[in-house]
Amino acid sequence: MKRFTIVMAALAMMMSTAAFAEDGAAIYKTKCAMCHGATGEGKMAPALKGKANVADVILKGGLTKAPHKAPIAGVTADQAKAIATFLK
């Protein structure tokens, strides 16, 4: 019984992680891809793929060029983390 519980907990964690990453992809495609490219490779805006501070920039702003001097409107902390996870 104990093994069954451990296996179920592990499966639940794996499924939630996959859903989290998929959610980040969907949010990224809606809010970011038009300027940063489909996978964060850069398009009209700088590349994001592999950057360590993506969630911080989304939540706090901080880029020196518009439009991201300020936080990205309508994106929650969980969504910002999901986007950053997708881009890794």
What's the whole-number mean pLDDT along residues 58-74?
72
Is the per-residue pLDDT at 35 higher than 70?
A: yes
Are the C-beta atoms of 36 and 47 separated by less than 8 Å?
A: yes
Write down the pLDDT at residue 15.
52
Is the per-residue pLDDT at 74 higher than 60?
A: yes
Domain residue limits at 67: 2-87
Which of 61, 64, 56, 65 lies closest to 83, judged by CA? 56
Which of 88, 84, 82 lies closest to 22, judged by CA? 82
Are the C-beta atoms of 82 and 20 separated by less than 8 Å?
A: yes
Distance CA 54, CA 56 (A): 5
CATH code for position 31: 1.10.760.10
User: How many domains, the chain?
Assistant: 1
Distance CA 19, CA 29 (A): 15
